[in-house]
Chains A and B, each alone.
Chain A
């Protein structure tokens, strides 16, 4: 520390708000626990639903992802991911990243942290790291729990590719599964950064989370308008399901590359905006 600056004993900006403290602060919250509980329970609910529904509706020999869900744990996990990626995971990610600053503002604890003082940039950085960590844990926990639930429910078997019905050996499919999870993380990054920006702009956590989810919904509505043509490719949600290409007989990268590019682009700008806004903001919460 600069010797000329008489600060309180032992104070150093670089030691404020350690990640461990922020993790503990967020972890015991009810919404954190409920969200993780939901994500971890969903695969089991689906397994039960498939088991109860088995035998009804006859043996359709179609090759949709949902019909193949009971073929193997990997198929089941891909199905779980496909049904939750567009909404449930978006909500989870928006929750962790949208609530993090706005939540503090709504509890009035933000001003005491800032006056402690935790420098504003550092506060955002630490909060962003922890929020992204929770969001990533949410995105990862769902497919992993699905693998576990699927293995117990339908057995560990080779994956059957939707559409063509081709079979990829489980051992070869596992690395692809890692690609899928990795891509899901990158594609949700844009949701995370949007929620984070809104979180720094409002004192209402509900507003930040709802705003981010709402914008995602608007984007996915827009992407259904084919008249928009190539513009749709630059909508933040356009490539959300591009990970399905990892389960094609030959991995098709172009969609995922484009999706990652779009996501990183939006995220970088949104997060930079969040830092700039927060730095200049008058904290009146």
Chain B
């Protein structure tokens, strides 16, 4: 019953918690945007005479009104279905979203022309026109909808290309895409251009196979997807098997370059027609470029070139390098959505005033681990201005290492492994950036251990001297060597391929080349070394089949490293709550503790200084409403042995507990020698008590228990009168035994002895005779009478009347919490005798009294 309030509180807490969880789970989610599937017929081709049906889905804005439109384009090998979720999220943000399968993909007709201005770009122009006719779409002018384009990879390139060709497009968010497809597939870190580039064999193969021979297939898989090819519905023709859904012209180009590994001028021209490089200066609209750091297909330098081209027109450009790309990584879907939505929110919805949201340059960095789940946490470092791959500052790191010979194995195998295209996470098992080098194929140049951490943001450069014959293909990579047991880390698995032509008469002078290493954002920690590894092979690239040996050395022993000190990660210093919360809590705690504090010993009635106990109007009810003690008043004088009589449940024990300050009375008061009893009141030091059984530490023996109890009172050891108390207990040798071995009677005697320690002026004993045998009871009686003879007062509660009759001179009779009668035992007996004409025992008196009492009440 005393837990009733606590239980109610706990129940309330549980209910509140459950309601919270349920509410949270059942809270109506934002209405799911419903797509309308439709087919949009377009005409394209160089002459504008080819009809193609595009499979599209239109997501009208959820609130039914007019809204700006977003064209959401899919990646290579995907279809409109691969961007369904992203489209629904954007539509829920209040846009009219149109997704479509590009020609040659999904259920759309036509052939893949690689975002050609004659084909895909014309398609998108007509999709923009289609949007202008929709009633749900906000118009800037007749036939000119307010529209943005977003998409990744192939879809990012179409966003750029369409922005260049169609003035009606208002803002774009191209992701992980290219600037120059020729340069992306035939990179040369020596600056020789695609004609001199090294063929990115594996990626190119994967890229072209994804437009492969699966007519009508509606696969969801993007470029990074794995899984076997689906079974085609019918046998393929030779043309289909060879070229899939590619335009024959593109198919032939790919077949020729893939065979030779060299980019012909025609191939370069064809690839560039599909690239933003061909439309320089024509993209004049706000552009947010999101490029993945883990991308060996379209590395950060592609976004860099796009950013420079757009910025040259004066249009607003922001660049962000996130943890994703064609090689895997986190992908940061939520962040990509948020950035896209805020970009369009500003430029299409014109929300949020004049300040452009986001920051000029944003880089995702490793933020350690979540302390709860121990999973990686990503931080976004931001800077106002995109500095390009050269950084805002440059640090020169000295590299050392002799000239070394590297061998190209016949057939180019075995090859070093940096990143495996299409298998992003495959090498990730031992942590990101693990790479495999083949002995004898690489030259190594290292810096001294760093004395301070070095954050590289951009593309480092180094000048190499290469000796050999004719064309030498090399792969340069910048590794992070921590020392100890850890293998060197190749940040993001990126390598810079280069092709150096050594003049035949060069001899020892060889050829010098400035190598632009892959653009990265990586922190080299103190004590780590920077290692430049130049190797002759890489699995992802085409290398010469003929065996050869080349000499590689440093033309200058310096690595120029770009840095961007302006980039700042958001969290700097402890958060405000880390000091505010504990400070507030401590203030609250101190107030809570001090507020309810009582000053003991303040309430004194000097007139009662000689009265051992006076109880006035004492009342106590428990929380369930049962009144245990009701308006109880009586007084005990010095030298009395008072019997507190009553049947079980009369409230004797509760009264005694209130005397000890254990229970707070509801009304009335108890005064001991004039001092009001409150919990822990100092006057209690003159009270000895034994209530409701003994309380000892079971693991200690009897003597230790008494000694420790006395020491806990803090009073001088000499005042304890330990010997007298122990004599009363009469335990003999058992004193040295642990209390847990005692019988009930032994504990009882020890407890009474404890109550008598210090010979208190007022001794309160609750049922002291319980568990004692008759000789012990007699002895106890003597002890109590002797104790009171010395001017002290004893209160004994009992339901054994015979006991009280023989021990006590005064008696207080209680029944159901009320005082029935009080007075000397003799008076009580005489009064009863007068009434009935015979001398009766107290027992009979008591029974009559409580009977009367019951009668009165009922």
Contact = CB atoms under 8 A, between A and B. Distances in A.
A171 interface: no
- Of B482, B577, B593, B693, most A-chain CB atoms within 10 Å: B593
Given A5-B604, A110-B695, A166-B482, A115 B686 contact: no
Contacts of B527: 166
Contacts of B673: 6
B604 to A, nearest CB: 6
A115 B689 contact: yes
Interface string A90-118: 00000000000000100111111111111
A268 B586 contact: yes
Contact of B682 (A11, A160, A257): A11
B596 interface: yes
Contacts of B687: 115
Interface residues of A, number: 88
- Of A8, A29, A235, most B-chain CB atoms within 10 Å: A8
- Of A235, A254, A255, most B-chain CB atoms within 10 Å: A254
A55 to B, nearest CB: 19
B832 to A, nearest CB: 35
A280 B586 contact: no
B484 A5 contact: no
Interface string A6-33: 1111111111111001101100111000
Interface stretch (B127-135, B297-305, B655-663, B822-830): B655-663
Contact of B712 (A6, A113, A238): A113
A16 to B, nearest CB: 4
B684 A224 contact: no
B592 A273 contact: yes
Given A8-B758, A165-B485, A223-B372, A269 B585 contact: yes
Interface in A29-69: 29-30, 61, 63
A166 to B, nearest CB: 6
B368 A245 contact: yes
Contacts, number: 234
B716 A259 contact: no
Interface residues of B, number: 78
Contact of A115 (B526, B588, B684): B684
A28 B700 contact: yes
Interface in B26-59: none
B685 interface: yes
Given A1-B682, A115-B689, A264 B585 contact: yes
Interface in A133-167: 160, 164-167
B662 A111 contact: yes
A52 B483 CA distance: 31
A30 B699 contact: yes
Given A120-B680, A265-B582, A114 B662 contact: yes
Contacts of A272: 588-590, 592-593
Given A7-B685, A254-B574, A284-B663, A116 B581 contact: no
Interface string B308-342: 00000000000000000000000000000000000
Contacts of A114: 660-662, 679-680
Interface in B580-633: 581-582, 584-586, 588-590, 592-593, 596-597, 600-601, 604, 609
Interface of B: 2, 6, 368, 371-374, 482-486, 525-527, 571, 574-575, 577-579, 581-582, 584-586, 588-590, 592-593, 596-597, 600-601, 604, 609, 657, 660-664, 673, 675, 679-687, 689, 691-700, 708-709, 711-716, 719, 754, 758, 760-761
Given A239-B372, A253-B574, A272-B592, 12 more contacts: A8-B760, A13-B680, A15-B715, A29-B699, A104-B695, A110-B695, A223-B373, A254-B575, A272-B593, A275-B593, A279-B679, A283-B657
Interface of A: 1-2, 4-18, 21-22, 24-25, 28-30, 61, 63, 104, 107-122, 160, 164-167, 201, 223-224, 226, 232-233, 235, 238-239, 241-242, 245, 248-250, 252-255, 257-262, 264-266, 268-269, 271-273, 275-276, 279-280, 282-284
